[in-house]
């Protein structure tokens, strides 16, 4: 299982190139796409086609080749095979027949987008492509909306506006959304906004709706995390009006924040205020 670039043809490891060069056959999703990659890196290889419609048949022929002692490299058009892409059936058949399956890691659009999203490290849920039909997509989003995870989706350009509108309706307009477009390519764009602003941002320029998209919506837990300073605001206001212990007690009551943290911050603020006065 050899991962290939998601745009920039240079994003491929020496080990991946060596695996392709050494394989007796390269099973590819679209042989023309892989032929361009091989040509760019001056690697020669025997290409065979494995697309979604013939994955079962291709799996049988790959297992036959493995049985003859051959090595088969499996690639898709872009990124990591079997991630919103063909490959899983071939792997399952090859494993079931007792053959070793070796992953050769590399690019993946979801992880590439997450790494540059600025969304805090934490659990995320990769949901791939949501259903294309609006009713099914909304139902899927409703089911995902309560989960305490950052949500990572793939979406096609002609559906991206309706998808962010449905996301805003299901997850709420306040959550942060990162729109990662054309990653590693010439027109790469990574835009961060609130979900409620995303459709307008996309509509504002036709280019913003072109290319390939990863959508990342911050989870509700992460949003609470970033809303944490709220207790600080409440505390600061109360400290201006009340004695410290009373302000701390009330800030905890109003915001649900932990007493130790609020008390420590109140002492810091009081000390800073005193030193400004002296
Ligand atoms: N197996 C691939 C991977 O590991 O990321 C995903 C293949 S899936 C068929 C294609 C989708 O991945 C695109 O529609 C888009 O949502 C996302 N994608 C792939 N390349 C991308 C890129 N360069 N920039 C943004 N999204 C990309």
Per-residue model confidence as pLDDT tens digits over 248-259: 998 888 878 889
Categorize the per-residue pLDDT at 234 as very low, low, confident or very high, splitting at 50, 70 and 90.
confident
How far CA 96 is from CA of 26, 57, 67, 93, in Å, comes to: 20, 15, 12, 5
Q: Do 87 and 113 belong to one domain?
A: no
Ligand 1, atom 23: closest residue by C-alpha? 183
pTM reported for the whole predicted model: 0.81
Q: Which atom number of ligand 1 is nearest to the Cα of residue 80?
A: 4
The range of the structural domain enclosing residue 182 comes to 109-222
Q: Which of 182, 212, 215 gets mutated to test ligand 1 (max ligand atoms within 8 A of its CB)?
A: 212
Q: Do 197 and 245 belong to one domain?
A: no
Mean predicted lDDT score pLDDT of the chain? 92
Q: What's the CATH code of the domain at 156?
A: 3.30.950.10
Report if residue 166 sits inside a domain: yes
Q: Do 88 and 169 belong to one domain?
A: no
Q: Do 65 and 157 belong to one domain?
A: no
Report if residue 9 sits inside a domain: no
Report if residue 62 sits inside a domain: yes
Domain boundary among 45, 66, 96: 96
pLDDT in the model for residue 275: 79
pLDDT in the model for residue 232: 83
Output the CA 19–ligand 1 centroid distance in Å. Answer: 22
Q: Do 213 and 122 belong to one domain?
A: yes
Q: Do 239 and 205 belong to one domain?
A: no
Output the CA 128–ligand 1 centroid distance in Å. Answer: 9
> Is residue 142 scored above 60 in pLDDT?
yes
DSSP code, position 119: P
Q: Do 218 and 113 belong to one domain?
A: yes
Output the six-digit token pair for 52: 């979604």
Q: Do 117 and 171 belong to one domain?
A: yes
Report if residue 249 sits inside a domain: yes
Domain boundary among 96, 124, 147: 96
DSSP per-residue letters across 42-97: T----EEE--GGGHHHHHHHHHHHHHTT--EEE--SSBSTTSSSS-HHHHHHHHHT
Q: Which of 84, 132, 180, 209 gets mutated to test ligand 1 (max ligand atoms within 8 A of its CB)?
A: 84
pLDDT in the model for residue 91: 96
Output the CA 184–ligand 1 centroid distance in Å. Answer: 11
Report if residue 126 sits inside a domain: yes
> Is residue 228 scored above 60 in pLDDT?
no
Output the CA 275–ligand 1 centroid distance in Å. Answer: 55
Output the CA 258–ligand 1 centroid distance in Å. Answer: 42
Q: Do 92 and 118 belong to one domain?
A: no
pLDDT in tens, 38-57: 999 999 999 998 876 788 88
Highest mean pLDDT of the ranges 116-125, 218-227, 253-262: 116-125
Query: How many domains does the structure of the chain reveal?
Result: 3
Report if residue 1 sits inside a domain: no
Taking residue 121's Cβ as centre, other Cβ atoms within 10 Å add up to 8
Q: Do 213 and 244 belong to one domain?
A: no
pLDDT in tens, 72-92: 999 999 999 999 999 999 999
Rounded to an integer, what distance in angstroms lies between the CA atom of residue 258 and that of residue 248?
10
Question: For the CA atoms of 117, 122, 123, 129, what is the dihedral angle to 10 degrees?
Answer: 0
Ligand 1, atom 16: closest residue by C-alpha? 154
Domain boundary among 222, 238, 257: 222
Output the CA 187–ligand 1 centroid distance in Å. Answer: 15
pLDDT in the model for residue 230: 75
> Is residue 212 scored above 90 in pLDDT?
yes
Q: Do 19 and 89 belong to one domain?
A: yes
Q: Which atom number of ligand 1 is nearest to the Cα of residue 188?
A: 24
Q: Which atom number of ligand 1 is nearest to the Cα of residue 155?
A: 16
pLDDT in the model for residue 76: 96
Q: Do 137 and 211 belong to one domain?
A: yes
Rounded to an integer, what distance in angstroms lies between the CA atom of residue 171 and that of residue 144?
8
Report if residue 8 sits inside a domain: no
**Rounded mean pLDDT, 92-106:** 97
Residue 95's φ and ψ, nearest 5 degrees, are: -65, -45
């Amino acid at each position: 299982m050899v991962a290939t670039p998601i745009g920039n043809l240079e994003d491929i490891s020496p080990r991946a190139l060596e695996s392709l060069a050494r394989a007796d056959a390269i099973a590819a999703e679209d042989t023309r796409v892989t032929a361009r990659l091989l040509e760019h890196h001056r690697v020669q290889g025997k290409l065979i086609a494995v697309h979604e419609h013939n994955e079962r048949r291709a799996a049988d022929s790959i297992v036959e080749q493995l049985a003859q002692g051959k090595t088969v490299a499996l690639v898709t058009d872009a990124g990591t095979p079997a991630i919103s892409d063909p490959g899983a059936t071939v792997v399952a058949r090859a494993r079931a027949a007792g053959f070793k399956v070796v992953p050769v890691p590399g690019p993946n659009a979801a992880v590439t987008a997450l790494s540059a999203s600025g969304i805090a490290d934490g659990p995320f849920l990769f949901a791939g492509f949501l259903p294309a039909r609006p009713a099914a997509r909304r139902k899927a989003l409703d089911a995902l909306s309560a989960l305490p995870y950052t949500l990572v989706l793939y979406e096609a350009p002609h559906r991206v506006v309706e998808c962010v509108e449905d996301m805003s309706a299901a997850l709420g307009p306040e959550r942060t959304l990162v729109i990662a477009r054309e990653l590693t390519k010439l027109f790469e764009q990574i835009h961060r906004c609130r979900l409620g602003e995303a459709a307008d941002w996309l509509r504002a320029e036709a280019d913003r709706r072109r290319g390939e998209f990863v959508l990342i919506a911050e989870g509700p837990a992460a949003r609470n995390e970033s809303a944490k300073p709220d207790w600080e605001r409440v505390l600061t206001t109360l400290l201006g009006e009340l004695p410290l212990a009373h302000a701390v007690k009330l800030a905890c009551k109003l915001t649900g924040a932990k007493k130790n943290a609020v008390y420590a911050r109140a002492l810091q603020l009081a000390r800073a205020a005193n030193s400004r006065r002296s």
